[in-house]
Structure 1
Amino acid sequence: MRRFAVQGHRTLKRAPAWKSAAKRPCSFSVAHYPARGLRAYSTGRRSSTVQGSSHPSMHLRNFSLAVISTAVASGAYYAYQGTGNTHSLANQVRNFASGAIKTAYAEQPSDPARKALLVNNDQFYTATLSEDEPLSKNSDDSDRRVLNMLTPEQATEKLRKHEESYLVNRGKGVVRYDIVQVPSNSPIEDDHAELVVEVPANVAANQNGEPNSDWSFWAVFDGHSGWTTSAKLRNVLISYVARELNSTYKAAATDPSVLVPSSETIDAAIKQGFVRLDHDIVHENVDKVFKANSRRVAAELLAPALSGSCALLSFYDSQSQNLKVAVTGDSRAVLGRRGPSGKWTATALSEDQTGGTPSEIERLRAEHPGEPYVTRNGRILGQLEPSRAFGDAVYKWSKEVQDKIKGQFFGRTPSPLLKTPPYVTAEPVITTTKIDPSQGDFVVMATDGLWEMLSNEEVVGLVGQWIEQQQSGSSSSSKAWLQGWFSFDGQKKLPVEAAHDGSTAGQRRPIRQQQYDISGGEGRFVVEDKNAATHLVRNAMGGKDKDMLCALLTLPSPYSRRYRDDVTVEVIFFGQGPDSRTIDRNQEASASEEAPRAKL
């Protein structure tokens, strides 16, 4: 995620695994299903730089790393300029792909090998993670010393490497959710978590006569300045929120005049979960570090405080059929719903929270009167883009605390603009939406790596197109989750209503479309994937333009970051599905697993 005003070439170093201060799990019943649907984990990659060399068996000339670095650096320059330079960037990306492929095959007509890019990354870091273990990331094996120019088939393989899909057969209004991650940073700074909780009647009074209800949680985390904060959120944020909800629902159930907590009370519980976790990350760990007086302890405990992460969490209560979307930062959730015309409508369920968002500028200036530079150039104190985030302690600690940490352990000199912290908060803004499972609503949650490439309407229209494609071949019993949607009509245009005036207020437009000189025509889209989240990322990175897709996925970290961000996407489908009390891994839309992974 591009977070700071000046983006230099980052030196990637292998960092220690950071230990987390784990919390006890919430006190109510958590449903553990054998299909591994209820879990919260993510994969990523880590590498350090050493001198690389080409493999002699390739029989091809190697590109000079210096030349590639220069080309990418110049592309980055164009990327951050105005629209007058967008054509230059688009040509660089496209020519990088098509030129390399054509030249390789022209030079070696009898050899299917292609040109190779020399990459200076060859170390990997792999570890499993539980709440009580150090924060970690799994390695992505695309960080090879020699990185081949990807063919369309290899690009597809890379797109699908981290895709997951689950069929929710619990009869509670949620029928399926799809997930995909595509890294750009190394390791990926995004993360995600999912959990379904079976809530007994003594926790949430059930007015429908059913013995229990489901609470479903989905979350995406967009880290910046490192991966440790997002990894911490993946471990414990849902537990913090669920614990607060547990207390709130139990208190309401014991009061005959209330039974069910109000919407405002539920919002307050979710906010409390967010704020308490951030307080533990930023402030409680500082107290522990000072008591320990150890640089090793400081390095382990302060890592999630010094980096940062946005968080987007959705909470669905099957009893009320209310979907709560809590956003801290600039990840985004959008609802897709059938309109009277039969087309889908796109409704934003969150607002991007940055130093350039009018509502956030107004809030910050009211909280920090007399500080004209509280936001500058759309950034907090002219540096940090998100106005709400976990971690980012240098915008929350006082100058005295930062000086003390720097003097005893490590750190940097506080900004001269730092006067009345905190300037950044983890408190989320929450929206509430009534879901109608009988109408086949769906929600797309994604980090900003997707939204800088596609608009809300394009995303909803693409999922609608994907649904209709699935519906056209839904004779198989495995498509039972599709019931409730209209049949496929074979239309070529995206089945989505045009945006209404003001519907995207406070949300940034997909800037990458301008940088890549992408036309607005819908003919650039394609349906090739069984996973709806993967379908979105494919079309964000090129769709039918396979040269563009291959180029964007071939460029290795850190160069790829100039052209695309880490992307994490979740698509949640609501409907009237079967009730076998299970959650099953949807194999046809999931990447194969070499070894079983831990369940929650």
Structure 2
Amino acid sequence: MHTIFLRNSVVCVRQTNCSNVGCGVRQFRITIRQKAQLPNLSPYDVNLILRENEYIQTFSEDDSIVRSYESNQLSSNRPCEDSRTEATFLHKSGFICGVFDGHAGPACSQVISKRLLRYVGAGVLDRRVLKEVMSKDYNSQSFLKCHNDKADFVSEIKTIYENSFREYVQTISRVKKENVANEITNAFMRLDDDLSKEALNHSNMRTMSVAMSGAVAVVAHIDHLDLHVASTGDCGAVLGIQCPETGQWQAKKLNTEHNADNLKEVQRILEEHPNEEHDTAIRNERLLGQLAPLRALGDFRYKWSNEIMDKYVVPTFGEHSVPPHYYTPPYLTAQPEVQHHILRPNDKFLVIASDGLWDFLTPSQVISLVGEHLNSKKVLEPMKLPTGEVTLLEVSKLLAERKAGRARKPLDQNSATHLIRNALGGTDYGIEHSKIAYYLSLPQDVVRLYRDDITITVIYFNTEYITKLNAET
């Protein structure tokens, strides 16, 4: 966000400093003449809004690395430009999920959220199994079982996408499988290439709107002890690690954001273009002075050649659709950076989220909030006595701890909801209702100046199974 003054308007936005833990790095104050007319949301109203899109999925298998996950989404844009997808594999062990943050509309985000995990799922599958599945009449659920999936493509677009996916599967089935990181990277790049071809080869406004919009993505793939996190753009992924001796929580970032704060990323882009463009390739901390993320899927008006722009884009969208100083495209790539982490018993959960969350909370704050939420929920479970002989003093101590823990009982069962509540309403003294109610009642024409769409998925690991697998290695 930037300081913005709207002349001849009732809105004036100024950036202010805020030291509250729950506020994160930045906060904005807004002056509205009709402030008194804003809805006075009650705690009940706030809960209805925060919990509208929450989702919890629990896995009962004892031999599953992932015990459960919790997810939620709070929109700022209408329609929301964020998307999320979570799935388990049908032909191998493992779990995969992603958060996708769209821009210039929701089209690209919605499409890749339903397609990217399929591409990755096929790529990481054993080639023998892949060929067996190909020999059958497979559909969109052939490789993955998606959870919390409530929408599908219209038949016209679905046929185009199915044909692209079938060609991709046939292509990779003829080559030797690479390591997981390379297969994930190939899936990102192939889907992005398919988005381009679909827009150019079909005279369809839907495919072109997907290509002209864009989305950043963070995808987590978990198979046994191997955790891979692939990131394109400025979403975030943070691992929650608990020290066994002290119980303290530690945050470990598993990706780096691709934006102007990443000097290595800025240097990469500058080196790909002539020296004469060093003042224009990145201006005002944005790609060509327009795009904040420096990597993204879609956004082909930063990738297509000048010839393609003149032939396909300008006649439909106008001259203004071509970015200024567009001399030596492509300026943008969808290539992800993939980090590999081997899970240990101290690794308790993973948080992936769009940048709407990180605008308010630091990675350490997020991990502390989820860790405290996890600990406080344990007091709601049936009490289990330690094995062996137990004294009355030990039982009394356990009961006292549970009683003290009930005082810290979380307001939200869903940890993603807990994070959103603290992001919008957190202070040094706890949650301030008036603060979060104010954020949630802002008019649609100004709310985007305050906060972005927020999408969060928290994945909880099966500590017992991780311990068992580590003992076997």
TM-score normalised by L of structure 1: 0.60
By how many angstroms is 1:423 displaced?
Answer: 1.0
Q: Which runs of 4+ in 1 moved over 4 A?
A: 5-9, 88-93, 247-251, 261-264, 487-492
SS in 2 for 1:235: helix
Matching of residue 164 in structure 1 with residue 164 in structure 2: no
CA deviation vs aligned residue, 1:104-160 (integer Å, no higher than 9, x gap): xxxxxxxxxxxx54xxxxxxxxxxxxxxxxxxxxxxxxxxxxxx3311221111000
Instruction: Give the distance between the partners of 1:332 and 1:358, measured in 2 at CA.
Output: 17
Q: Amino acid of the residue matched to residue 360 of structure 1?
A: E
CA RMSD, 1 decimal = 3.5
- The Cα shift of 1:195 comes to 0.6
Distance 1:434 1:96 in 2: 54
Between the aligned partners of 1:170 and 1:164, the Cα distance in structure 2 is 19
1:216 has 2:154 as partner = no
Instruction: Tell me if the contact between 1:191 and 1:222 (Cα under 8 Å) persists in the aligned partners.
Output: yes
| Structure 1 SS opposite 2:382 | coil
2:187 aligned to which of 266, 270, 273? 273
**In the alignment, which of 551, 554, 561 is matched to residue 441 of structure 2?**
554
SS in 2 for 1:283: helix
Hey, what does 1:424 align to over in structure 2? 332
Cα offset for 1:489?
6.5
**Cα distance in structure 2, aligned partners of 1:324 and 1:415:** 34
Aligned-partner SS, 2:230: strand
Check 1:336–1:263 CA distance in 2 against 1; reply closer, same or farther (3 A cut).
farther
1:473 aligns with 2:380: yes
Please give the alpha-carbon distance, in whole angstroms, between the structure 2 residues aligned to 1:90 and 1:416.
Answer: 30
Q: Which 5+ residue runs of structure 1 have no aligned equivalent?
A: 10-65, 101-115, 118-147, 200-212, 252-260, 290-296, 478-486, 493-524, 579-600
1:445–1:570 CA contact under 8 A, matched in 2: yes
Q: What is residue 151 of structure 2 aligned with on the other side?
A: none
Equivalent runs, 1:182-221 vs 2, <5 Å: 182-199=74-91, 213-221=92-100
Are residues 1:241 and 2:113 paired?
Answer: no
**CA 1:425–1:546: 2 relative to 1, 3 Å:** same
2:12 equivalent in structure 1: 74
Cα offset for 1:232? 0.3
Partner SS for 1:341: coil
Match of 1:230 in 2: 109
Shift of residue 342, structure 1, vs aligned partner:
1.8
Asked if the contact 1:185/1:558 (under 8 Å) is kept, the reply is: no
Q: Residue 290 of structure 2 aligns to which amino acid in structure 1? A: Q
1:354 corresponding residue in structure 2: 259
Please give the alpha-carbon distance, in whole angstroms, between the structure 1 residues aligned to 2:69 and 2:437.
27
Q: Structure 2: which 5+ runs fail to align?
A: 131-174, 385-397, 466-473
Contact 1:310–1:388, Cα closer than 8 Å, also in 2 = yes
Aligned to 1:338: 242
Q: Is residue 315 from structure 1 mapped to residue 202 from structure 2 by the alignment?
A: no
Label 1:192 to 1:412 Cα distance change in 2 as closer, same or farther (>3 A). farther
Q: Secondary structure at the match of 1:246?
A: coil
Task: Output the CA distance in 2 between the equivalents of 1:214 and 1:566.
Answer: 32
Aligned counterparts of 1:549 and 1:529: Cα–Cα separation in 2: 15
Q: Which residue of 1 aligns with 2:71?
A: 179
1:566 to 449, 453, 467: 453
Tell me the TM-score normalised to structure 2 length. Answer: 0.75
Tell me the secondary structure at the aligned position of residue 68 of structure 2. Answer: strand
**What is the identity percentage for the equivalent residue pairs of Structure 1 and Structure 2?**
32
1:472 deviates by 2.1
Counterparts of 2:27 and 2:59 in 1: how far apart (Å)?
43
> Could you tell me whether the CA contact under 8 Å between 2:4 and 2:12 is conserved in 1?
no
Supply the AA of the counterpart residue of 1:426: A
The equivalent residue for 1:509 is: none
Could you say which residue in structure 1 is the equivalent of 2:270? Answer: 365
- Distance of 1:489 and 1:359 partners within structure 2: 48
Corresponding position of 1:305: 211
Whether the 8 Å contact between 1:356 and 1:377 is mirrored in structure 2 is no
Q: Is the 8 A contact 1:228 1:307 kept in 2?
A: yes
Contact 1:163 1:181 in 2 (8 A): yes
Tell me what 1:545 maps to: 432
Contact 1:248 1:269 in 2 (8 A): no
Structure 2 residue 350 is the aligned partner of structure 1 residue 458: no
Q: Deviations for 1:33-85, whole angstroms, at most 9, x for unmatched residues?
A: xxxxxxxxxxxxxxxxxxxxxxxxxxxxxxxxx99x61xx202xx14x889xx
1:7: Cα distance to partner?
Answer: 8.0
Q: Distance in 1 between matches of 2:128 and 2:377?
A: 39
- SS where residue 170 of structure 1 aligns? coil
On the 8 A contact 1:186/1:558 being kept in 2, the answer is no
Deviation at 1:408, TM superposition (A): 3.9
1:282 aligns with 2:161: no
Distance in 1 of aligned mates of 2:417 and 2:368: 15
Alpha-carbon offset, residue 283 of structure 1? 3.5
**What's the CA shift for 1:383?**
1.3
How do 1:466-505 residues align onto structure 2 when only pairs under 5 Å count?
466-475=373-382
Distance 1:89 1:423 in 2: 32
Q: Which residue of 2 aligns with 1:533?
A: 416
Letter in 2 for 1:327: S
Q: 1:46 is matched with which residue? A: none
Separation (CA, whole Å) in 1 of partners of 2:287 and 2:27: 28
Matched position secondary structure for 1:304: helix
Q: CA deviation at 1:359?
A: 1.4
What is the DSSP-based 3-state SS (H/G/I as helix, E as strand, rest coil) of the residue aligned with 1:192?
Answer: strand
- SS of residue matched to 2:94: strand
- The 1:190–1:90 alpha-carbon spacing in structure 2 relative to 1, beyond 3 Å, is closer
Q: Secondary structure at the match of 1:449?
A: helix
In structure 1, distance between residues paired with 2:55 and 2:365: 22
1:510 is matched with: none
Q: Deviations over 1:303-347 (max 9, x none)?
A: 1111110011000012xx111000010000000011243211100
Q: Give the CA deviation at 1:475.
A: 1.2
Closer/same/farther in 2, CA of residues 570 and 381 from structure 1, 3 Å limit:
same
What code does the residue aligned with 1:338 have?
A: Q
1:404 corresponds in structure 2 to 311
SS in 2 for 1:466: helix
1:286 Cα shift? Answer: 1.0
- 8 Å contact from structure 2 (residues 28, 450) kept in 1: no
1:6 and 1:307 mapped to 2: Cα distance? Answer: 25
**Separation in structure 2 between the aligned mates of residue 149 and residue 427 of structure 1, nearest angstrom:** 45
Native 8 Å contact 1:174 1:577 kept in 2: no
Per the alignment, do residues 387 and 490 of structure 1 end up closer, same or farther by CA in structure 2, a change over 3 Å counting? farther
